[in-house]
Amino acid sequence: MHRDIYFENVSFSYGTKAIFKQLDLHLPFGKNIALVGENGAGKSTLVKLLLGVYTPQEGRILIDGRDFSKMSGEERRRIFAAAFQDFYRYPLTLRENLTMYVGAGAAEKELQRVLAAMGMEQYMSRLDFKMGKYGEDSMEFSDGQWQKVVIARALLAKADMLVLDEPTASMDPISESNLYENFMKIMKLNSTLIVTHRMALAKYADVVIALQNGEVTGMGTHEELLRENAYYRKLYNEQSAWYK
C-alpha cells in the first residue's frame, strides 16, 4: 500500500472565484508534509478537496490510484483523520469528545497515550467529566485546551494520514511549535499533512509545499525553500521575529 496522493489537473472555483487552475500536485505518503502559505492562499480549500468535502470542477484526486470520493466511508476514515480550525465544542464528557471517531470502547492505554502526547495527562482521571459549566463533575476548557482535544481525537483515530488544518491558530507560536514537536515525537507520526501559515511548524516537516494564490510555488525541505524560494523566504522572514 502506498497511499501516495496525486492531484491531476485539478480546477476548483467558488462561484466565479477561481482558486485552483489545473493544479498538479504529488503528496508523498510516509512523509510529514507542511502546506504553508498566506491567509487566503487556498490551503483549506486544498484540504477540503483532498478530504472530499468539495469536488473539483475539473481533474481528479487519486489515492493509491483510486478516487477518494468513490471509496466507502469506512475506507475513507481509515485513510484520513483530520482536525480543523473551526470545530464544535460538544457538551459531552471528555471521553466522548475524544472517542468520537473510534467509539466509546477505546482502550484506556490509548487514551492515556494521546493525552500524554498533548500534555494533558492530568485529565486522565477526569475523562468522564462533562465539558461545560454544569456543576459537579463538569469542567470548562479554554480555547487552547479544546484545540488539544480536537487533535487528540484525530490522533486516537490512527488513520493512515493525519491532516491538521490550523487547529491551533489561537495558541501563541512558541507553545504551538513545542506542542507539535512533542506529539509528533511521542506518537511517532510519519504521515501527516500540516497546514499552517506559521513557518516554525514547517521545520518539522520532511517536505514543505509553498502555496501562493492557488499555485504551488515551491516544494522541498525548509532549508531548500529558504534558499531557493523568494515567496517562502519572505513569509519566513516576516515571522522570524516571533521566535527570537
Ligand X SMILES: Nc1ncnc2c1ncn2[C@@H]1O[C@H](COP(=O)(O)OP(=O)(O)O)[C@@H](O)[C@H]1O
Enumerate binding residues for ligand X (CB under 6 A).
14, 17, 19, 37, 39-45
- Using Cβ positions, the residue closest to Mg ion within the complex turns out to be 44
Sign of the four-CA dihedral 110, 114, 117, 121: negative
> Which residues lie across from 27 on neighbouring strands?
5
Number of residues that bind Mg ion (CB under 5 A): 2
| Cβ proximity to ligand X, 47 vs 157, nearer residue | 47
Using alpha carbons, select from 85, 8, 113, 10 the residue that is nearest to residue 55.
10
CB of 127 to Mg ion, least distance (A): 31
| Cβ proximity to ligand X, 18 vs 230, nearer residue | 18
Contact 171, 147 (CB under 8 A): yes
| 61 binding partner (options ligand X, Mg ion, none; Cβ < 5 to 8 Å by kind) | none
What lies within 8 Å, CB to CB, of 179 at 6+ separation is 118, 119, 148, 168, 171
By CB under 5 A, which span of 37-45, 156-164, 174-182, 219-227 interacts with Mg ion?
37-45
| 19 binding partner (options ligand X, Mg ion, none; Cβ < 5 to 8 Å by kind) | ligand X
CB of 198 to Mg ion, least distance (A): 12
Tell me the C-alpha distance between 54 and 51, whole Å.
8
Q: Residue 63: helix, strand or coil by DSSP?
A: strand
CB of 83 to ligand X, least distance (A): 14
80 CB-side CA count, 13 A = 24
| Cβ proximity to ligand X, 83 vs 117, nearer residue | 83
Regarding 196 and contact with Mg ion (CB under 5 A), the answer is no
CB of 190 to Mg ion, least distance (A): 24
Using alpha carbons, select from 95, 86, 99 the residue that is nearest to residue 168.
86
CB of 14 to ligand X, least distance (A): 3
What lies within 8 Å, CB to CB, of 127 at 6+ separation is 93, 94, 95, 98, 111
| Cβ proximity to ligand X, 5 vs 120, nearer residue | 5
Regarding 44 and contact with Mg ion (CB under 5 A), the answer is yes
Which stretches of the chain bind Mg ion, using CB under 5 A?
43-44
